[in-house]
Chain A
Amino acid sequence: MEILLAIMTGILYAAGIYLILRRSLVKLIIGIVILGNGVNLLIFLMGGLVKGNPPLIPADGKMLEGVFADPVPQALILTAIVISFGLQSFAIVLIKRAYKVLKTDDIDTMNKTDDIK
């Protein structure tokens, strides 16, 4: 399972970077989204995969016993997802606006701010 997830993470990273390197604005955003998902999967993987033991202390106990799932990565992923949700919705509005104002979605033609004038 770990190997499968590791390969999956690699594929997501590769696909994300490939899409970011394309010239279209839309593909850029999709690339960033996929890359973000790849990171989330990586955090999940780094927490270690454990089967079926929630990290809950029983009512009469004082400590966690045996093997248990690490709750921290889940909290981290949830936070990361919420943040990327906000960022991506901003990004979509931005590229729509950019397309409307600049009348192109080709990143190569966006070189106005780099002119030496």
Chain B
Amino acid sequence: MNEHLTIYPIIVHLITAVLLLFFWKKPKIQRYISILGSTVGIVIAGMLFHRVWENGILSIQLGNWEAPFGISMVADTLAVTLIVLTNIVSFALSIYSTENMVSSRIKFGYYAIFHFLIMGLSGAFLTGDLFNLYVWFEVIIISSFVLLTIGGRKIQIEGAVKYFTLNMISSIIFLTGIAMVYGATGSLNMAELSRIIPEIENKGLMQTISLIFFIGFGVKSGVFPLYFWLPASYHTPPAAVSALFAGLLTKVGIYAMLRVFTLIFPLGETNQIILMIIAGLTMFFGGIGALVQKNILRVFSYLIICHIGFMVGGLSIFTQVAIVGAVMYMFHDIIVKATLYMMGGIMFRIFGNTKMEKMGGLMDNYPKLSFLFAIPLFALVGIPPLSGFWPKISLFSASYTANEIAMLVMFIFASLITLIIIAKVWNNVFSQNPESIETKSSFKYFKDFNFAEKAAYVVPVVLLVGVTLYYSFFAEHFQLIATRIGEELMNTEHYYNAVFNINEKTKL
């Protein structure tokens, strides 16, 4: 009975989405169903986390077909922690969307697609089968295409063309990799692959396949030469959609990298160097890109790219401490990046646009909001004791002990450049007053909102900032979780034993 819990996070959002489709034309009811569904999602995710934390890795064989033949769903600590965070973000966004999404967009099925996307994310985190991972990736990208184009403004369509093309190509590359793995090994079960691949003699072929996977996931997560779709499309949809994409979509690529490059193709020396160079360049170009942007949402887009480098860099060092750092950074990044775009939505409502030269004086006019916004911004820089600080300690110390000084320099460079960017944003948006504020007559400004509308915008931000603060002041909890994840990722036999139902006497 226990193991059924493994797939409930997927089922909850699937059922919610189907219910929402039944109420296609009734936006009001849809809002309540979505919030309810996300609440149940959090509860189930919490239960699953508790179970995995107490009893070790859970797995289930769909359709009762035994392990290497059927599709396995595996809930290890990394997957369930990400599912908990996903559900928290989805809950916050369900509330945020009630006001951020106009009814006409909801009538196009916004909420249903939103829950399909969350379902796809949960599936991608839970699956233990390579081809199934591809299927969940497709669920995610189909949903994200629809979310990106809902509303159909000119700029959205143009962003969607770029997003669509590169994501399609990345899926095709990923599928090519799967075909080659199947040809070489005759299996797609990740746990079984972790045993077959080391025994294959043709190391060069395995190297090539692993890099094909890296390109596929690299496009999705936005690493250096493959990120151009990201700043071209992330600022175009409404803030709720951007927040969802920023918080979770790029992290799925990172999750897939963490899984594939620890379990299936443990990083060799060559791959480590390739990943390191790419991580360094990602941080460099992401940072430089953010520095020159004038639209605040595009600044945030480049910051996403810049900080992807931390996670890829952590993975590339490939010691347990570094992986712990990368995983912790991922947790921090999911929450903070989602918050940033939600803040961007509120700023758009306050100033009427997102160009930095036309913003200003937030501190004078909205002191409480400014204080609220300051927390995620400073957490991003990593000012102690806020959440960005803790993973950076692990990453710095790991790169120092592994003697990867170049990596250490890049981490410090990226942190510094983030500081400069945040200082610039602070200067432009919060303190300095703009020369002239133009007011559009047909636009509903934040100050004209009634209390309920304001609450729908601000409460989710408060919620996520609360999570950030929890992370900041109780970082040892996350450290504990991440340490266990690092242990599970580096020692693949835990995963293998869970999938093939071999009893583990020694609990972690």
Contacts and interface: CB of A to CB of B under 8 A. Distances in A.
B164 A91 contact: yes
A98 B152 CA distance: 9
Contacts of A45: 179, 183
B182 A35 contact: no
B142 A43 contact: no
Interface in B137-194: 138, 141-142, 145-146, 149, 152, 154-155, 157-162, 164-165, 168-169, 172, 175-176, 178-180, 182-183, 186, 188
A90 B233 CA distance: 17
A50 B144 CA distance: 40
A114 B293 contact: no
A80 B175 contact: yes
A39 B179 contact: yes
B293 A35 contact: no
A112 B293 CA distance: 14
B100 interface: no
A11 B155 CA distance: 35
A102 to B, nearest CB: 6
B294 interface: yes
A32 B165 contact: yes
Interface string A57-89: 000000000000010110010011001001100
A116 to B, nearest CB: 6
A94 interface: yes
B209 to A, nearest CB: 11
Contacts of A86: 142
Given A20-B169, A32-B172, A91-B164, A116 B294 contact: yes
Contacts of B146: 90
Contacts of B293: 116
Contacts of A72: 182, 188
B295 to A, nearest CB: 7
A110 to B, nearest CB: 5
Given A32-B165, A72-B182, A98-B161, A113 B233 contact: yes
Contacts of B236: 113
A113 B162 contact: yes
A36 B172 contact: yes
Q: Which of A35, A83, A102, A112: most chain B Cβ within 10 A?
A: A83
B295 A117 contact: yes
Could you tell me the dominant secondary structure of chain B's interface residues? helix
Contact of B157 (A43, A80, A101): A101
Could you tell me the dominant secondary structure of chain A's interface residues? helix
B172 A35 contact: yes
A42 interface: yes
B377 to A, nearest CB: 22
Contact of B176 (A20, A42, A70, A112): A42
Interface in B425-482: none
B157 A79 contact: no
Contacts of A87: 138, 141-142, 168
B158 A113 contact: yes
A111 B164 CA distance: 15
Contact of B154 (A20, A28, A102): A102
B294 A76 contact: no
Interface in A92-108: 94-95, 97-98, 101-102, 107
Contacts of B176: 39, 42
A114 B169 contact: no
B35 to A, nearest CB: 28
A96 B152 CA distance: 12
A34 B162 CA distance: 19
Contacts of B508: none
Contact of B182 (A43, A110, A114): A43
B166 to A, nearest CB: 10
Interface string A26-59: 0010001001100100110111000000000000
Interface string B343-361: 0000000000001000000
B157 A94 contact: yes
B165 A20 contact: yes
Given A46-B180, A113-B232, A114-B231, A97 B172 contact: no
28 contacts: A25-B161, A32-B169, A32-B172, A39-B176, A42-B179, A46-B182, A76-B131, A76-B182, A83-B138, A87-B138, A87-B168, A90-B146, A91-B164, A94-B149, A95-B161, A98-B160, A110-B161, A112-B154, A113-B159, A113-B162, A113-B232, A113-B233, A113-B235, A113-B236, A114-B232, A116-B292, A116-B298, A117-B294
Given A47-B183, A79-B131, A87-B168, 13 more contacts: A28-B165, A32-B169, A42-B180, A46-B182, A70-B186, A72-B188, A73-B182, A83-B138, A91-B168, A97-B157, A98-B158, A112-B154, A114-B231
Interface of B: 131, 135, 138, 141-142, 145-146, 149, 152, 154-155, 157-162, 164-165, 168-169, 172, 175-176, 178-180, 182-183, 186, 188, 231-233, 235-236, 292-295, 298, 355
